[in-house]
Chain A
Amino acid sequence: MIEIKNLHKKFGKNEVLKGIDLSINEGGIFSILGPNGSGKTTLIKSILGMVLPDSGDIFINGKTLKNNYKYREKIDYLPQIANFPGNLKVNELIAMIKDLRSGQSTNDAELIEIFKLQPFLNKRLVNLSGGTKQKVNLVLTFMFDSPMVILDEPTSGLDPISHLRLKNLIFAEKQKGKTILVTSHILSFVEEISDEIVFLLEGKIYFKGSIPELKSKTEQPDFEHAIASILSSSYA
């Protein structure tokens, strides 16, 4: 489980996270929502240790993240923008990441099959389209069997079929009892998969709970309107 205590982060003068307190229990799918620039990615990167918080603590399974890197063995991360070294071929990249986490079982062959990546395996990453890169990204993320999966905008650039397959994949992972953290702007996707949502607004947690709770809180009949009502009331 993840516990975040009073997390603050500034980039220059821009205060992105203004005191986040959050605890995420094991098992289930959690969505982090919020408008652009609300700090979703920063929060995720803080959990991964890529962004170092100005103050506050993050504990994963009771252990603090400071001066610790081993915990990342138990996390699979899908970055928002699929930036890969362009001169590598797809299978070289997969082999390299496997090599970095040697000793962990992988199911990359199955994932390559799911996303129909076989024709691209010998191509260089610079020559791939955005959607295909995202598929490679997904293979790299899901090929390890870690108890925690973090997905930053997993649907970006995917065609409808791949989108559907991704959804099935996420449900399958959930069945295994994994904790899955997702950020997305596609509300129908979020509504379909999430057990619980966290709504970030201007660096603070505006709402945490299930989707029915959000609907009753905002007195709106559906999820999209509920989110819209939060946004319009905050911008007003």
Chain B
Amino acid sequence: MFYLLLGIVLLFLNNDLSKAVITLMNVIIILVPLIGTIFGVMYYYNSREFTELLLAQPIKRSSIFLGQYFGVATSLAMSLIIGLGLPFVFYGIFNSSAIWDFSLLLVTGAFLTFIFTALAFVIALSNENRIKGFGYAILLWLFMAVIYDGIFLMSLLYFEDYPLDKFSLVATMLNPVDLSRVLILLKLDISALLGYTGAVFQKFFGTNFGLILSSIMLVLWVVIPTFFIWRIAKKKDF
């Protein structure tokens, strides 16, 4: 519902598909992780009783928790894709050149949902205290979405005498939020805005190798937290 509303409003305000896609990118990059984190943590804590009920039944532990995770993450990703997709479909995205940019946007959005829901589940599983769990989850989101960029920028300024191409590439890869942002920006061909770094990024991410590597990174960002969910759930007492 939220995504649907957002899509409609943006289209009306912008009246232009590719501009709407850019605005949408900013929203997706910041909001999708937030929604994934909050919903993940909230769902886990809310369904605790239910989980305990299930644990006494003849079901494997891993299927309980991974099932819950994929349930939440998939429905969030679906709501993102359907909610944002519908208004754009009615607007005539299929006849527009922005279709590929738009689908990349949705795919990265879905990835971000999966990543942050998994991280939220890991946090919720390792914190019995709800307030603490929520706090850590919000902090994680803040760190990834805002603080990380700040530190990144500071270090770039601080070490400006050195060649930083490699460093900035690696640093971008390590944060899923940044990675998605760079991917979309480059796809939208506005990398010229990024100046020299943009050129380096273009050279790297623009190639097939870069695209594959960043996709692998996104997949890893899903797989590793999911592995942690599985491991913590296996060892936890209820």
Contacts and interface: CB of A to CB of B under 8 A. Distances in A.
Given A83-B49, A85-B49, A85-B50, A48 B56 contact: yes
Contacts of B50: 84-85
Contacts of A30: none
Contact of B56 (A52, A70, A77, A84): A77
Interface in A61-116: 69-73, 75, 77, 79, 83-85, 97, 100-101
B58 A69 contact: yes
Nearest to A69: B60
B58 A73 contact: yes
A9 to B, nearest CB: 8
Contacts of B58: 69-73, 100-101
Nearest to B54: A100
B90 interface: no
A45 interface: yes
A45 to B, nearest CB: 7
Nearest to A78: B56
Given A79-B52, A85-B50, A50 B57 contact: no
A50 B55 contact: yes
Nearest to B55: A50
B235 interface: yes
A60 interface: no
Interface in B23-68: 47-50, 52-61
Contacts of B238: 45, 50-51
A26 B184 CA distance: 65
A72 B54 CA distance: 11
Nearest to A75: B56
Interface residues of A, number: 21
Interface in A40-62: 45, 48-52
Contact of B52 (A11, A52, A83, A100): A83
Residue of B47, B58, B238 ringed by the most chain A CB atoms within 10 A: B58
B28 to A, nearest CB: 30
B160 interface: no
Contact of A85 (B47, B55, B56, B59): B47
A204 B49 CA distance: 29
A52 B57 contact: no
B237 interface: yes
Nearest to B238: A50
A83 B47 CA distance: 10
A73 B58 CA distance: 5
B44 to A, nearest CB: 13
Interface string A19-44: 00000000000000000000000000
Interface in A169-202: none
B59 A52 contact: no
Nearest to B53: A84
A77 B57 CA distance: 8
B22 to A, nearest CB: 39
B161 to A, nearest CB: 50
Nearest to B49: A83
A204 B47 CA distance: 34
B56 A69 contact: no
8 contacts: A45-B238, A49-B55, A50-B52, A51-B238, A69-B60, A71-B58, A72-B58, A72-B59
Given A49-B55, A51-B238, A100-B59, 9 more contacts: A52-B236, A72-B59, A73-B58, A79-B52, A79-B56, A84-B50, A85-B47, A97-B57, A101-B57
The 5 lowest CB-CB distance pairs between A and B, nearest first, are A83-B49, A72-B58, A73-B58, A77-B56, A85-B50
